[in-house]
Chains A and B, each alone.
Chain A
Amino acid sequence: MPLATWPSQAKIRRLDLALQYPKAPGGVSPLSGRQIAGASTRRALWVGEVELAANSRDDLQAISAWVEQLRGRSGYFALPLEAGFATFAEDNTGIGEITAGDAGDSTITVDNLDTSQTTLAAGTLLTVGEYTNNKAQLVEVASDAAVSTSFNINIQPPLRINVVSGFIHLASIYGRFRLREDADGAGTFGIGYGAIVLPIIEVPFIDDGFSQLLDDDGADLQDDDLAYLGDD
């Protein structure tokens, strides 16, 4: 799948993201009849929707055209997550180094984080690994972490793949997503304002620069298997 360049006309007005876990077999509440999410944390993905704002009809048309190329899962995009939408809450680089981590780890060790904050708050999104070589993963700080020269962060979801020592990014992070279902690319436009709502699902950075999903045994996961998320 090709990477679609984020349209410069699109401004993120609202962002809904949550970790969705695969359904546990038989995981239905006997009381409510509703599905109780499973606990397979390694297969958790970020799922949600993003509302894009446009300042003019021309901008809205440009965004709509960009959405069109994503229909039918023909492409994916990097969602630029800026301060104010759950990223690092200060204006410095927010780059640190992590020691090597293994797939399944829910704690990472961070060194030399460039920050003046004393606490890394729960809910902060960060990118683990170097995203320029497609080996990065979007994770969330699970619980408040006291910042020091070398400290641990509890993350969720756990690491999907082994990570060599490298960078973490807390400012201007990117998550890779595709449309979760065929989105209405037309959008709506009122007086001086337009908006498009896109349902999105994460496309994890996995291995060797290729956008692949791996199952728990490390084998390629086919699109059909994504039905576990109720996507198909």
Chain B
Amino acid sequence: MVAIISSPDPLPKRNITLQLVTPTRGGGGGLVGTSRAFEVREGARFLYSFEVPPLLTADALGLRAWLNRCAGGARVCGIRLPVEPTSTFASTTLSAEATAGDETISVASATNAFVGQHMVVGDSFDLANDPSQVCRVVSVAGTTIGIEPPVRVTTASGQPAIFGQPFGRFRMVGETPAVPLVNGRSEPVQLQFEEAI
């Protein structure tokens, strides 16, 4: 069982980047679409980096304790995705099974979906549906949502599909960052995470 450690909530963030990156495989892979070559889409995952602004000491202590708990390749951190303009938190469900490789999913309600939004397919903390997946909405047609990257693991009908700042599952990249403490508060600290697959 994977231990998932929730971030402090709320966790102030600024200078946020949430970037889908796809590793390339030199000399292998295949043409995908008309504008990409040798792309290994199965390995696509999100990199999530942000800066935590200065916090009061008490909050900074909690942040440091959380970071220390997150350190270690086996430890998965639950972090809320960024707030997006006009985004409204909504938890709906898949109305049909999402098969691995699918580029669209069917949901019970797409009222709160819009192109460019980040969402999670599968409950971030549902270990029975391991792993859940962070996606970006690329199209909305009724209750059919186009997503990027494609479905990574077959997800049963009825599993959650969450819009509007859901929790994503990430692992810390590199060494544990220190939270710089001065008297009474902390200084900004840059954090970087990689989606946990």
Binding site for B on A (CB under 8 A): 13-21, 24, 27, 29-32, 34-39, 41, 44, 47-49, 84-86, 89, 121-124, 140-143, 156
Contact = CB atoms under 8 A, between A and B. Distances in A.
A21 B69 CA distance: 11
- Grouping DSSP codes into helix (H, G, I), strand (E, B) and loop, the B interface class, with mixed when no group exceeds half, is mixed
A37 B72 contact: yes
Interface residues of B, number: 38
A16 B186 CA distance: 9
Interface string B38-58: 000001010100000000011
A141 to B, nearest CB: 7
A48 B21 contact: no
Given A16-B180, A18-B179, A31 B21 contact: yes
A218 B63 CA distance: 32
Contact of A14 (B47, B75, B181): B181
A122 B72 contact: no
Interface of B: 21, 23, 43, 45, 47, 57-58, 60-69, 71-75, 171-184, 187, 194
Given A18-B64, A19-B176, 14 more contacts: A14-B180, A14-B181, A16-B178, A16-B181, A31-B21, A31-B194, A32-B173, A36-B73, A36-B173, A47-B178, A85-B181, A86-B60, A121-B62, A124-B61
B65 to A, nearest CB: 4
Contact of B68 (A36, A89, A140): A140
A138 B183 CA distance: 20
Given A36-B171, A124-B61, A31 B182 contact: no
Contacts of B176: 18-21, 37
15 contacts: A15-B181, A16-B180, A17-B181, A18-B64, A18-B67, A18-B177, A29-B194, A31-B47, A36-B73, A44-B71, A47-B178, A84-B57, A122-B66, A140-B65, A142-B69
